[in-house]
Chains A and B, each alone.
Chain A
Amino acid sequence: MTATDRTETQTHTVRLELVDEPGELLRALKPISENGGNLMSIYHERGNLTPRGHIPVEIDFSCAPHQFETIVDALRGEGVNVIQAGTERYDEELTVLLVGHLVDTDLSDTLQKIEACANASLKDLSLSAPKGTEEASSALLRLAARSGTTEETLSTLRSIADGKDLHVVEPLTEGSR
């Protein structure tokens, strides 16, 4: 068992910021492949800029757990700015309803709080406020959460909602097949 544990590959996501110059992306990819990482996807967010005016890039790769730190160290050693280095991808999708006075309680602040502390990223949002801001409105949120953190994400979501007198209609994660 221990032997396989050491070699079992996991998918990792790193977020980098790159200067918009030729060869920059290749410079960032080399430390990954050279240290045993298997590239899975590269998302080059052209048109988006980080606060420092660089281009954010999200890279998914798989490697054995013990190789991950080596790769991040190698990236930093090459002078690449690693913004975020997760050990797991956001690979659990979570759909929740948020109900209440969403607009009056500053929806964008609510969403920022969710992204900041809920260990999740917002993939999609639909808002329905048929009666304007007078009555309760609803939002359906599609969140990507790190695998195994669904419960934690939901509990954070509940406390954010509580603070604004909103209600969360949670998904039934079991038994709804």
Chain B
Amino acid sequence: MTGRLAVIGAGAVGRSVVELAGEYGYSVTAVADSSSAAIDSEGLDAEAVLDRKDETGSVGNETPEAALDAAYDVLIEATPTTLGDAEPGFSHVEAALERDRHAVLANKGPVAERYGDLMDLVDASEGDIRFEATVGGAIPALSTIEDVGATNITAARGVLNGTANFILTRMAAEGLDYEHVLAEAQDLGVAEADPTFDVEGTDAALKCVILANVLGQGDREFTLSDATVEGITNVPGSALELAAESGRTVRLVGEASPGAVRVGPRLIPENGTLAVSGTQNIVQLETEHAGQLNISGRGAGGPETATAVLSDVGRLF
């Protein structure tokens, strides 16, 4: 098996996958962005494709649809997360499975919003899907659940959004208010120009929905609308000060159990396991017989997330 990858989406994650694929021993036979594609069944020159993207804004001369028909073993779905019908990501994965190819998702939409539909496609295909990169970036959360066994895990919780965590950490450390720290985070590139997805808890909730779907093993399907979600925009600096006076702090904590998904700011011990700082993420698994398992690390970023994608590719072969 040569390991030919078709990378759909040329944002931070897609680019890093293209860049790192060679190091992992895979070749990239197709890369698509929203308007074009580069295709070579013998393997593309990663650097040349990315340079072209930087210079001209497009990766190649082919249409994006042509990348779906290219020769590949694993399709990497790395387009931006969309809600509801999770398109066009869902159709990209569908195209791969219908050709009995594998798909690896970094896009949360299809796994959070259409888990059942996705699993039906997998059942009908020789191909399989994996989506480690959708939860906690570089953190091997889903593969750990797979190793331990979903039935041996009663709940998963964690700090799953680096932007929100950075803001809360800075507010607590500097005694600053939300607006002030948000502006700083935007300057540093930690928060996007429109931070809604992160600070309102949507991103963390999608990850928890995915965790709940995996833990539920098909007994119950969750979507974002089943989650109880509250963001951090209502947490003033004074709340963090009061929390600190009693040895506590506030973190945006997501919880997923087979019965419920909830995300919201929570009071936790200042030196507790879940009180990770800055853009760090942590996933905590409550096991049936072995207490808690904690895995922390970088929850976002191109190379970090691409690492999870490429590990998934390795698990498929």
Interface residues of A (CB under 8 A from B): 95-97, 99-100, 126, 128-130, 135-140, 142, 167, 169-172, 174-177
Contacts and interface: CB of A to CB of B under 8 A. Distances in A.
B268 A129 contact: no
A169 B274 contact: no
A170 B268 CA distance: 9
B242 A176 contact: no
A174 B243 CA distance: 18
The number of chain B residues touching the other chain, given as a range, is 20 to 34
Listed from nearest, the 6 A-B pairs whose CB atoms lie closest are: A128-B238, A138-B239, A140-B242, A138-B238, A172-B266, A171-B267
Contacts, number: 84
Interface string B133-156: 000000000000000000000010
B253 interface: yes
A140 B246 contact: yes
Interface string B232-264: 001111110111011010100100000000001
B116 interface: no
A171 B272 CA distance: 13
A169 B268 contact: no
Contacts of B267: 95-97, 169-172
Nearest to B244: A140
B292 interface: yes
Contacts of A96: 267
B130 interface: no
- Interface on chain A toward B: helix, strand, loop, or mixed SS? strand
Highest count of chain B CB atoms <10 Å: which of A95, A100, A142: A95
B239 A171 contact: no
Contacts of A167: 230, 234-235
Interface in B158-174: none
20 contacts: A95-B246, A97-B239, A97-B267, A99-B234, A100-B234, A128-B238, A128-B241, A129-B238, A136-B234, A137-B236, A138-B236, A140-B243, A167-B234, A169-B243, A170-B266, A171-B266, A175-B155, A175-B273, A175-B274, A177-B272
B242 A126 contact: yes
B241 to A, nearest CB: 6
B268 A136 contact: no
Contact of B269 (A100, A129, A139, A176): A176
Contact of B245 (A126, A174, A175, A177): A126
B59 to A, nearest CB: 44
Given A95-B246, A175-B274, A169 B265 contact: yes
B284 interface: yes
Contact of A97 (B157, B237, B242, B253): B242
B254 to A, nearest CB: 11
Interface in B259-292: 264-269, 272-274, 284, 286, 292
Contacts of B239: 97, 99, 128, 138, 169
Contact of B273 (A100, A135, A136, A177): A177
